[in-house]
Structure 1
C-alpha cells in the first residue's frame, strides 16, 4: 500500500502519515502475516521442546532463607535424611488399636506400604510411645517418603498407598491417610479451569460483538499466548522455584489480559473501519492508538508483578517470573499476532453474525469521529451532574467492603480446610480427635550437639520443652548414628493455624532453647512445616508495606510519563488502593465461613495464607491500572483535541464503558472459575480477584473516576512547569486526527454516514 497523505497548511501538497513504532510493526505484521503465523508456530514448538528437555518441576511449600526453620531443615537433610523427606500419616481408629487382631492387620498394611515406591521408612507405631492416643482408640504411623517436595511424589504411587488403605479398612477399622502428597493426589487431575474461563469469555464476546469472527479474534490471541507461556513454565522452574499455584494464576491472568487487550483493539479496529479507513490502514491506526494503551497497560502489570521480588522469597520470585512471562507473551501477541490475524480476517470482521438481539451500529459524526453510545453518554452526564454525591457514596461503599480485612487471620490453610469427603481431611480430623489439634502440626526441634556437654544440654532441653506452656507432648530425643545431632518432636496443645501455636514457636526459640543450651556449645533450631509456615507468613506480612510502597511509587511515575499529569497519576494510585482494600475485605468475609463461605465450598473458618494478599496486590494493582489506562487514554485523546475537561470525561467514559464492562465481565468469569477448585488457597485467589475486578470496573472506573475528575476540573491535566521539560510525551492517545485527515486527503470525500458494523 502507498503512503497515506496528510494535508499540510505550509505548502501545496501533502505530507505522508508517519506511524509510530507500533504502527510500523503493525504494517509489517499485516503484510508479512504468513511469516508471523509461522514464527509463532515455530516459537510454540521450540518452547515445548526446550521445556521437555531442560524443564523442571514445580515446588510445594516455601522456606525463608536464613530463618531458624530453614537451618533446622538443613540439619535434617544432612543428618536425618530419612526424616527429612515429605511424610504421610496413616491414621487408624478402632475400639482397641492395640488389640491383637487390629495390630496384625495394621502391621500387615505397614509392611505392604514399606515396599512401595518412594517410601523411605515406615515408623512402627507399637514401639513409639506417642503413637497411640490416651484412650487407646486412635493410632498414627508415620510413613516417610524419599522426596522432600510433595510434587515429586507421583500421583499414581500415592494412589497405591490410598488403595492399600481402602483394602485394609472395614470390620470396625477406620483408616485414613493425611499429608501434602495425599492432598495433591486427591485433587482433581487435568483441571478444566482454563477451559471454563475460555468458554465464559466466548459467550461474553459473542454477546458484545454479535459476530463469530470478531469474537474469535480475542480468543485466538488468548489461546496462542496461553499455549506459549504455559510451555515456558518448565524452563522458568529450572531457574527459580515455581510454586504449584503459579502456573494456574499465570494461565488465568494471560487469558484474561489477552482477551482484554484484543477486545480493546478489535473495538478500535471496527471504529476505524466505520470512519472509512481500509483494512491495512485501520490495522496500522489501531496499533498506533489502542496499541499504545496496551503497551502502557501491560507495563503497569509487569511493574506490579516485579514488586514480588522485593519479598525475598523464592516462591514469590517464581510467581513473578511465571506471570510476567505470561504478560510479555500476550503483549507480543497483541503487537504482532493480532495485526497478522487482521490481515486474514479484518475484512470479514463482522461476518457470521448471530441473532443476538438488535443490531448495534458505530455512529460517525460529520467530522469523522465516532459518536459514543447514547446510554453511556447519559450515564456519564448523570455521574458528572452528581459528582460530589457519587464520589462520597463510592468511597463509603469501598470502605465498608474493606472493613472485614481488619480481623483477618494469617496462617497457611491445611488439611483441616480440605473437603470433608477426602482421606486427607478425615485423617486430620481423626488425629485432632484422638491426640489433640496440635498433632497435625508438630514442631521439630533439631539440636546440633557440638561439644561433650551436648548430652547434658539435650536432657535439659527435653525437660524444658516438656515444662513449656502450650506443649501437649514431647517425644524422647532421637540421636543420629554419628551422635552429633538430636531430633525432638514437640506437639502443641493448639492447631497449626492457632495464634497460640505462633506464640509457642517464638517462646521456644527466644526463651526455652537459649536457657537450655547456654554455655554448652549446642545449637538448636525449631523447624517442621508449621514453623516454616509461621516464618514465611511473618516475613511476608512484615514486608507487605514495602511491596505496596514500591509498586505504588513506580506505577505513579509510569502514569505520570504516560499522561503527563501529576493529578491523574496520584488519584489513580489512591483509587487503586481503595479497590484492592475492598477486595481484601470481601475475601476475608468469605473466609470467615458462615453462609457466604458455604456458597463457595468453605464450610468452616479458613485463614488467609500470607502470600495471597501479596500476590493479589501485585495482580490487582496492575489490572486496575489496565482499566485506568483504557479509560484515561480515551479521555486524553479528547482533551488534547478540545481542551474541554467535561467533554473529555464524557467521551472517555462513553467511548470505553462498553469495552471495560465486557473486559471486566470476562476477567471476572475467568477468575471466578478458580472458585470451583477444592484448594482453599486457589479458591482464595479466585474470590479475591473476581471481587476486585467487579468492584474496580463498576464502583471505581465507571463511577468514582469520572466523578472525581469532574470535581477536579482542568487541574486533572496539571503538570508543574519544571517537569514539562523532563517528562517525555509518549502520546499514549496516539494521533487519531492524523489518520482521519489522511483519509480525507486520500479520498477527497466527506466522512461516511453511520455504518452498521456492530459495537
Structure 2
C-alpha cells in the first residue's frame, strides 16, 4: 500500500512540477500586473475611505427614529452637533461673548446641509465661561463628513472675527468623532507597520537560519498586502469602506501572508534537504503544503463569513475585506512562491545565521516523551487553560469613546468640557402623530423629567404637521452603563405620561449605543453557532472523521476561553462590545490553520500505513518548529495593534496574539498530540454511510521524486525541518 501511495504521489509531484514550469512566466506576469493595478488603486481608493465612528445597526430603533426626525423635521438634521464655546476672560452673558455666539449662528446658516440652531439651556453646574449651541446637520454619513470641515471653518472664522481671540469654539458630535478616527486610523496603520515589519524580519531570520529566506517571506507577504490593499481600495469605489476595516484587513493579510508563505518555504526546504531538485521540490511543496494552505484559507473564510449575517455594516465590511486578503495570501503562496523558489534557490541560503543544530532532534525527543506520558501532560495543560479562562466570568462588555485618544483633539476638548458642565448627552424622543391632530401633549412628561436629577432640561418641538420631538439633555455620558438605565426610564415614563397608544422612538448617541450592545449580544450567539457549524463541516470534509472536528472545536474553545480570560485581566474586566465578534472569528480561523497543518501531517503518515502513535510523533516533530515560528510571527503581527490609539484595536490585537500563542504551543504541541495518541485509530472514525457522501481527499505520502545525489547520505537519513539544503550538506 505504501509503495503504491509513493508511486501515486511521485506522479502528482511530477505533474505539479511540470505545470509550474509551464505556467511560471504567466504567474509572474499576473502578479506583476496585480501589483501595478493595486498601486494605482490605492491612492484613488484612499480618498473614498470613511471613518467608522459608531458601528450602529441599520435596523435598530435609534436609526429608525433618526430617519423619522430627518424626514419630518429636517431643521434638526440627520445628526445634531454641538458648538462648545469657552473663554478665559469673558462670561457667557458679556456682549462680546454673545456677539461671538450670534456670529457663529449666522455663519452656520450659510453652510450647505446645516439645519436649525438651538441654544442649549444652562446646567446648574455649568461653568459661567462656557456656552453651547445645538446645530442640525443633514445628509448621510459621507455627506456630513464632507460638510464638517466647511462648517468648522465658517464657525471658527466667525468667532475669531467677532471676539478677536477672546472666545474659542469646538465642534463636537458623532461626525467630528468619526473625522478624528479617520486621521487616527491612518496614523495607526503606519505605527503597526513600523513595529511589526522589523520584528517579523528578526524572527524570520533567526527562525529560518538565513537572511535570504526571511527576506523572501517578508517580500511575499508584503506583496500580498499591497495587492489586497489595492483590492480593498477598489472596493471603496463601489461601496462604503472605513479606515478601521483597512487596518484590520492589512494586519490579517500580513499575518496570513507570512504564515502561508512560511509553510510553503519550509516544505520546499525539507524537500531540497532530502535531495529533490528545485523544480521537483517546488512541486512537492505545492502538492503537500499547498493543499494544507488552501484548507487553512478555507477555514479562515468559513469562520469570517459568519460576520456577514450581522446587521452592523462595519463588521460585514471587515468580513469581506478579510476574505479578500485571505484569498490573496493563499493564492500568492500557492501560485507565485512555487515559481520563485526554484529560481531563487541559491538566494535562500544567503546570510546564514548560527542556530542550534539539533532543533529537530529536540522536538523528536519531546514527541516521544509525550507519547509515553500523555495523561499527565494532557491533564496539566487543560487545567492551566481552564484557570486562565476563569476571569472571563467577570468580563463586562460595553462601548467606550476612548477619551484618552481624543484628549488633545478639538472634539475631545469639547466633549470633556460638556461632560464637566453636566451636558454630557442629548436624547431626542420622536413622537409621530396624525396630521392635523396637533402637537402631542408632553406637559406631564417634561414635569416628571424636571424632577429627575440626572436630567438637566427638556424641551418639546413640533413640526406643525405630524411629529413632536422632545429633546432631553442629561448629565450621563452616552457610553456609561447608567446611560442605558436612563434611556429605559425615559421610555417607561413616556409610556406612563403620554396619551395612550403613543409611539415613542429614541434617537441620539445613548440610543445608538444601546442598540449596538443589544445587537452585538444577539449576534454573538448567532455567529458562534455559525462558526462552530462551519468549523465542524470543514474539518469533516478535510479529515473525513467525526472525531477530529469535535476535537478541533473543543481545543479552539479552550484556547479562546483562556485568551478571553487573560483579556479580562488585561483590561480590568471590560471589553468593547464589538471585540468578541471580531476576535472569535479571527481566533477560530487562525487556530484552525495550525490544526490543519499539524493534523494534516499526522494524517499523511497514518494513511501511509504508519501506526497511530508513531504517526502522531512524526507529525508533531515535523511540524512543531514551523508551527511555533509561524505562530510567533503571527502573534507579533497582531501584537503590533497594541501600538494603535484605538481601544478596540488594542483589545483585538492582545486577544488574537495571546490566543494564537496559546493555540500553537499548549494546544498544538501538548493537548492535541496527547489526545490523538490516547484516541488511537478512533481519531479517524467515520460511519460508512457518511463516508460515501463525502468527497475523497487524497493525502500524499513522502514521495520518491527525482533527487540530487548527496555524498555520505542514505535515503533513510532524517532531514532537518527548516535547515536549507546547503546547510544540510555542510552538516
Q: Report how far residue 198 of structure 1 moved.
A: 2.4
Q: For residue 39 of structure 1, what is the aligned residue in structure 2?
A: 30
Q: For residue 708 of structure 1, what is the aligned residue in structure 2?
A: 675
> 1:114-513 to 2 correspondence within 5 Å?
114=108, 120=114, 123=117, 125=119, 128-130=120-122, 133-134=125-126, 136-145=128-137, 148-149=140-141, 152-153=145-146, 178-179=172-173, 180-181=177-178, 183-184=180-181, 187=184, 189-190=186-187, 191-192=189-190, 193-237=192-236, 241-345=240-344, 347-354=345-352, 356-358=353-355, 360=357, 373-418=360-405, 420-435=407-422, 439-466=423-450, 471-480=454-463, 483-509=465-491, 511-513=492-494
Distance of aligned partners of 1:72 and 1:359 in 2 relative to their CA distance in 1, 3 Å threshold: same
Distance of aligned partners of 1:118 and 1:383 in 2 relative to their CA distance in 1, 3 Å threshold: farther
Aligned partner of 1:641 among 579, 586, 608: 608
Q: Report how far residue 722 of structure 1 moved.
A: 3.5
Distance of aligned partners of 1:539 and 1:518 in 2 relative to their CA distance in 1, 3 Å threshold: same
The answer to whether the aligner puts 1:694 opposite 2:669 as a matched pair is: no
Tell me, in whole angstroms, the C-alpha distance in 2 between the residues paired with 1:590 and 1:15. Answer: 52
The alignment's TM-score, normalised by the length of structure 2, stands at: 0.87
Q: For residue 642 of structure 2, what is the aligned residue in structure 1?
A: 675
Aligned partner of 1:87 among 72, 81, 88: 81
Tell me, in whole angstroms, the C-alpha distance in 2 between the residues paired with 1:257 and 1:625. Answer: 12
Q: For residue 701 of structure 2, what is the aligned residue in structure 1?
A: 736
Q: Structure 2: 5+ residue runs without aligned partners? A: none
8 Å CA contact 1:567, 1:716 repeated in 2: yes
Tell me, in whole angstroms, the C-alpha distance in 1 between the residues paired with 2:5 and 2:588. Answer: 45
The answer to whether the aligner puts 1:549 opposite 2:529 as a matched pair is: yes
Q: Report how far residue 471 of structure 1 moved.
A: 4.2
Distance of aligned partners of 1:433 and 1:758 in 2 relative to their CA distance in 1, 3 Å threshold: farther
Distance of aligned partners of 1:517 and 1:115 in 2 relative to their CA distance in 1, 3 Å threshold: closer
Q: Report how far residue 146 of structure 1 moved.
A: 5.0
Q: For residue 495 of structure 2, what is the aligned residue in structure 1?
A: 514
8 Å CA contact 1:54, 1:235 repeated in 2: no
Structure 1 residues 264-273 or 420-429, which shifts more? 420-429
Distance of aligned partners of 1:718 and 1:89 in 2 relative to their CA distance in 1, 3 Å threshold: farther
Tell me, in whole angstroms, the C-alpha distance in 2 between the residues paired with 1:576 and 1:388. Answer: 20
Once superposed, what is the RMSD of the aligned Cα atoms?
3.7
The answer to whether the aligner puts 1:663 opposite 2:630 as a matched pair is: yes
The answer to whether the aligner puts 1:751 opposite 2:696 as a matched pair is: no
Q: Report how far residue 72 of structure 1 moved.
A: 0.7
Tell me, in whole angstroms, the C-alpha distance in 2 between the residues paired with 1:488 and 1:27. Answer: 74
Distance of aligned partners of 1:473 and 1:381 in 2 relative to their CA distance in 1, 3 Å threshold: same
Say which SS state the counterpart of residue 565 (structure 1) adopts. Answer: coil
Structure 1 residues 400-409 or 266-275, which shifts more? 400-409
8 Å CA contact 2:101, 2:159 repeated in 1: no
Q: Report how far residue 86 of structure 1 moved.
A: 6.1
Distance of aligned partners of 1:572 and 1:7 in 2 relative to their CA distance in 1, 3 Å threshold: closer
Tell me, in whole angstroms, the C-alpha distance in 2 between the residues paired with 1:93 and 1:639. Answer: 78
8 Å CA contact 2:156, 2:169 repeated in 1: no
Tell me, in whole angstroms, the C-alpha distance in 2 between the residues paired with 1:627 and 1:216. Answer: 23
Distance of aligned partners of 1:18 and 1:312 in 2 relative to their CA distance in 1, 3 Å threshold: farther
Aligned partner of 1:561 among 516, 528, 541: 541
- Residues matched between the structures, number: 710
Q: Structure 1: 5+ residue runs without aligned partners? A: 1-5, 362-371, 593-604
Distance of aligned partners of 1:48 and 1:120 in 2 relative to their CA distance in 1, 3 Å threshold: farther
Q: For residue 3 of structure 1, what is the aligned residue in structure 2?
A: none
Render the CA deviation track for 1:107-159: whole Å, top value 9, x for unaligned: 3883697499778258464xx42478545354333455555427834897698
Say which SS state the counterpart of residue 403 (structure 1) adopts. Answer: helix
Tell me, in whole angstroms, the C-alpha distance in 2 between the residues paired with 1:432 and 1:637. Answer: 63
The alignment's TM-score, normalised by the length of structure 1, stands at: 0.84
Distance of aligned partners of 1:358 and 1:301 in 2 relative to their CA distance in 1, 3 Å threshold: closer
8 Å CA contact 1:88, 1:181 repeated in 2: no
8 Å CA contact 1:237, 1:318 repeated in 2: no
